[in-house]
Amino acid sequence: MAITSIIGGQWGDEGKGKIVDILSENVDIVARFQGGANAGHTVIIEGNKIVLHQIPSGILHPECKCILGNGMVVDPVGLFEEIRMVEDQGIETANRILLSLTTHIVTPIHKAIDKTSEDATNQKIGTTCKGIGPAYMDKITRKGIRAHDLLDLPSLKQTIDHRLSEAIKNNEVSKSAVNQINADLKQFYECVPAIAELVSDTFQYLHSIIHQGKNVIIEGAQGTLLDIDHGTYPFVTSSSPNNGGITTGLGIPQSHLDRKIGIFKAYTTRVGKGPFPTELFDGDGDKLGKLGHEFGATTGRPRRCGWFDGVAARYSCLVNGFTEIALTKLDILDNFDEIKVCTAYELDGKLIKNFSEVIYKLDQVTPIYESLTGWSNPVENIDHIDNLSNRAGQYIHFLEELVDTPIKLVSSGPERHQIFTREIS
C-alpha cells in the first residue's frame, strides 16, 4: 500500500499537475482535498496541453478514479465545462469522477462577492475571482451549500434565493450585478443534474480502497506559502494546502501518508499580490518569466519571478514534513551563467534564518544570496543528474542541504518523459 501526497512547496504553480500525472500511472485513486477552480494544473502529453482546474490530474490515466474531496469548494458550472473539455480530448470520464457528499459548492453569488470585495478594497489580494474565499466563508459561518444539496433542486433554489437576498441586503454584491447573477444562476441550475450524478460517499470508498492496500495519490492545489494559517497572510488563499489539510479535507489521518512529496520550482514564482523577498525586477527576472512561460494557468496573469528562496523552502519542509522533493523547471536555469539562491534574510542588521520569525513583515527583509555557477549543457542531456561532477548536480545538492530534504525527482521539461529519478542511499 502506498499513499502519496503531492503538495506545492512555494506560492503555487510549482508543476504539481505534471508530477501527479507521472506518478498516477499505476494508481487507483487521485484525490483533491482543498481549493477549487482557482487551481490550474497543466499536463502536457506529446505537445498536447491540458489544464485541469477541479478534476484531479489522474484523469489522464484511464484506470484511475478521481475524487473531489469534502475540503474542496466545487463550482458545478466549471466542473461541467471541464468534464466536456476532457471528454473532447477523447478521455472517458463516466464513473471516474466522484464528488464527496459534503463538499461545499461555489455558486455565481460567491463569484460575484469575490469580485465585488476585490474591487472595493484597498488591500487587494489579487484573487482568481473564482468565488473561493466567499464559499469558504459561508462554510465556516455554517450557511454553505454542500454537494448533497444538489440532489434536491427545489430546496436548493430556495436556499440560493435566500442567500442572494441576504447578499443584496448586506451589500455583498451591488444591485447592478443582480441581473448577471440571475443569468449565471440559470446556467448553474442547468449544470446541477449532471453534477448531482457524481455525488457519493467518497469517504467510505476511499477508506475501502486504502484498506485493500491499493495506491492513492493526494493532489494538493496552491502552495504552502498560500496557506490560510502558515502562509503570507492576508495574501493567501482560504484553505489549507499543506499536508495537514489532508486530514480534514479527505478524512485521512496523517499516519496513513507514506510518501510526502513537496514540489518546488528550481526558482520561485508568485501570481497575485503579497510579499516576495527574492522577487527580481531586473533582466534575470524577465528572463525567468520569458523562458519559463510564467503566465497563470487559470487567469493568464504574468507570474512574478525570483531566485530560489531557501528560507521559505526550509519552512515549507517543516510545515509539511516532506519525505522528499520533486524539483521542477531546472531546464529554465540552463540559460544562466550565474544562479543565486537565498540562504538567509537580513532585517535591521540581524541575520534571519527562520521564515516564521518574519512572516508578518516579509516586505521588510533583504535576501542574502549565495552565487553558484551555471552549467553549460542542457540538463536534459545529462546522463546522471545526481553526479556531483556536473554543476546542475551541485545545484541540486546545494538546495537539498539547504532545506534538509532529499530531492528525489528532477523535472527537465514539461513533457511526461522529461524527468530524472535520483538514487539516494
* Cα–Cα dist 151/101, whole Å: 10
Q: Judged by CB under 6 A, does residue 134 bind ligand IMO?
A: no
Q: Strand 304-306 vs strand 308-309: parallel, antiparallel, or unpaired? A: unpaired
Shorter beta-carbon distance to ligand IMO: residue 133 or 251:
133
- Contact region with Mg ion (CB under 5 A), list: 54-62, 173-181, 291-299, 309-317: 291-299
Rounded Cα distance between 204 and 208, Å, is 6
Judged by CB under 6 A, the chain residues 271 through 290 that form the site for ligand IMO are 271-272
Which H helix or E strand runs over 20? helix 16-23
Residue of 9, 12, 249, 306 that binds ligand IMO (CB under 6 A):
12
Does residue 133 touch ligand IMO according to CB under 6 A? yes
Does residue 110 bind ligand GDP (CB under 6 A)? no
Single out the residue of 74, 132, 135, 311 in contact with ligand IMO (rule: CB under 6 A).
132
In the block, residue with C-alpha cell 523562458: 291
Site for ligand IMO (CB under 6 A): which residue of 20, 23, 32, 40?
Answer: 40
139 in contact with ligand GDP (CB under 6 A): no
- The sign of the CA dihedral 87, 100, 227, 328 is negative
The only residue of 6, 7, 10, 13 in contact with ligand GDP, by rule CB under 6 A = 13
Least separation in angstroms between CB 6 and ligand GDP = 9
Q: What is the DSSP string of 153-212?
A: HHHHHHHHHHHHHHHHHTTSS-GGGHHHHHHHHHHHHHHHHHHHTTEE-HHHHHHHHHHT
Q: CA-CA distance, 352 to 343, in Å (whole number)? A: 9
Number of Cβ within a 10 Å radius of residue 187: 13
Distance CA 9, CA 222 (A): 9
- Member of 22, 97, 106, 297 binding ligand GDP (CB under 6 A): 297
Member of 24, 34, 38, 278 binding ligand IMO (CB under 6 A)? 38
3-state secondary structure of 17: helix
Cα dist from 418 to 325, 357, 394, whole Å: 16, 38, 19
Nearest distance in Å: CB 120, ligand GDP:
28
C-alpha closest to that of 220 among 57, 422, 394, 45: 57
Report 19-78 residues binding ligand GDP (CB under 6 A).
Answer: 40-42, 44
Nearer to Mg ion by Cβ, of 297 and 402: the residue is 297
Cβ atoms within 10 Å of 255's Cβ, excluding its own? 7
Other CB atoms within 10 A of residue 161 CB: 11
Active site residue ranges: 13, 41
331 binds, among Mg ion, ligand IMO, ligand GDP, none (CB under 5 to 8 A by kind): ligand GDP
| DSSP single-letter state for residue 279 | B
Least distance from C-beta 203 to ligand GDP, angstroms? 26
Separation of alpha carbons 117 and 126, rounded Å: 11
Instruction: Please report whether residue 412 would count as binding ligand GDP according to CB under 6 A.
Output: yes
Q: Does 226 bind ligand IMO (CB under 6 A)?
A: yes
15 binds ligand GDP, rule: CB under 6 A: yes
Q: Residue 13 or residue 227: which is nearer to ligand GDP going by CB?
A: 13
Q: What is the DSSP string of 299-357?
A: T-PBPEEE-EEHHHHHHHHHHHT-SEEEEE-GGGGGG-SEEEEEEEEEETTEEE--HHH
Does the footprint of ligand IMO cover residue 128 (CB under 6 A)?
A: yes
What does 272 bind: Mg ion, ligand IMO, ligand GDP, none (CB cut-off 5 to 8 Å by kind)?
Answer: ligand IMO
Q: Is 15 one of the binding residues for Mg ion (CB under 5 A)?
A: no
Beta-carbon-side half-sphere exposure of residue 292 (alpha carbons within 13 Å): 34
We find the least distance from the C-beta atom of residue 43 to ligand GDP, in angstroms, to be 7
Q: How far is the CB of 313 from ligand GDP (least distance, A)?
A: 15
13 is a site residue for ligand IMO (CB under 6 A):
yes
Sign of the torsion angle spanned by Cα atoms 221, 224, 230, 235? negative
Binding site for ligand IMO (CB under 6 A): 8, 11-13, 38-41, 125-128, 130, 132-133, 221-223, 226, 237-238, 271-272, 297
Binding site for ligand GDP (CB under 6 A): 8, 12-18, 40-42, 44, 297, 328-329, 331-332, 411-414
